[in-house]
């Protein structure tokens, strides 16, 4: 079965057969090329699922995704679909960026910290804070947005602000942890 067919169908809450595609890619890393191509698919759900898989694979196999990282700073970063933007902001800190691309990354994150959808805003600030650990001059912007999140009526944004502050205070060394690891206080090695 073709990868695109496995990522097709359902609605925005569905992941289709993404887990099966991930297993296929882990068995045949050359399929990363197919996922990268599908990130530009005309069906936004297929594109979003491909981005989701690229982001997930970047955690475990960064070298596989590195040649395709520009996908995350291209036109998809301005998508009108929050689900696509979410994958973008979550993936950005997983890579090292040359200076010109780093400026684009920072602009994407700063734009998305004010995006209307809460998940996108929360992850954009989380990612921006990850970069601030390596690039202290971003600290002022992170602190400003942390104060905004703390004053927000959104419990999710308040909680994310607390988690980010705690991470910054303990010095996570720029390494990302999953939401469940943050919640339990454990870090993935």
pLDDT at 18: 80
pLDDT of res. 94: 95
pLDDT at residue number 171? 75
pLDDT of 174 > 50? The answer is no
pLDDT digits (tens, 9 = 90+) for 120-129: 999 999 999 9
Say what the pLDDT of residue 9 is.
76
Q: Which pLDDT belongs to residue 177? A: 46
pLDDT at residue 19 in the model: 86
Looking at the predicted structure, is the pLDDT value of residue 179 above 50?
A: no
Distance CA 4, CA 69 (A): 20
Q: Any idea what the Cα angle at residue 27 is, between residues 25 and 32, rounded to 5°?
A: 25
CA 166 to chain centre: 20
Query: How confident is the model over 67-101, as pLDDT tens digits?
Result: 999 999 999 999 999 999 999 999 999 999 999 99
CB atoms within 10 A of CB 100: 8
Q: Please tell me the predicted confidence (pLDDT) of residue 183.
A: 36
Instruction: Return the structure tokens found at 171.
Output: 């010095």
What pLDDT is attached to residue 176? 47
CB 70 within 8 A of CB 108: no
Q: Structure tokens of 55? A: 């982001």
Q: How confident is the model at residue 170 (pLDDT cuts 50, 70, 90)?
A: confident
Q: Give me the residue spans of the domains in the chain.
A: 1-95, 97-189
């Amino acid at each position: 079965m073709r990868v695109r067919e496995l990522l097709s169908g359902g609605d925005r809450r569905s992941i289709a057969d993404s887990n099966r595609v991930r297993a296929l890619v882990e068995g045949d890393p050359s399929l990363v090329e197919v996922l990268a191509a599908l990130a530009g698919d005309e069906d936004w759900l297929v594109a979003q699922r491909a981005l989701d898989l690229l982001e997930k694979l970047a955690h475990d196999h960064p070298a596989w995704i590195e040649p395709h990282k520009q996908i995350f700073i291209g036109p998809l970063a301005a998508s009108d679909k929050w689900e696509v933007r979410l994958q973008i902001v979550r993936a950005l800190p997983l890579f090292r960026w040359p200076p010109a691309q780093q400026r684009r990354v920072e602009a994407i994150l700063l734009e998305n910290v004010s995006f209307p959808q809460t998940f996108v805003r929360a992850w954009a600030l989380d990612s921006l804070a990850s970069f601030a650990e390596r690039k202290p001059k971003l600290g002022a912007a992170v602190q400003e947005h942390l104060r905004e999140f703390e004053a927000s009526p959104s419990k999710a944004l308040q909680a994310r602000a607390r988690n980010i502050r705690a991470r910054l205070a303990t010095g996570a060394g720029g390494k990302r942890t999953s939401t469940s690891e943050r919640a339990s206080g454990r870090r993935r090695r």
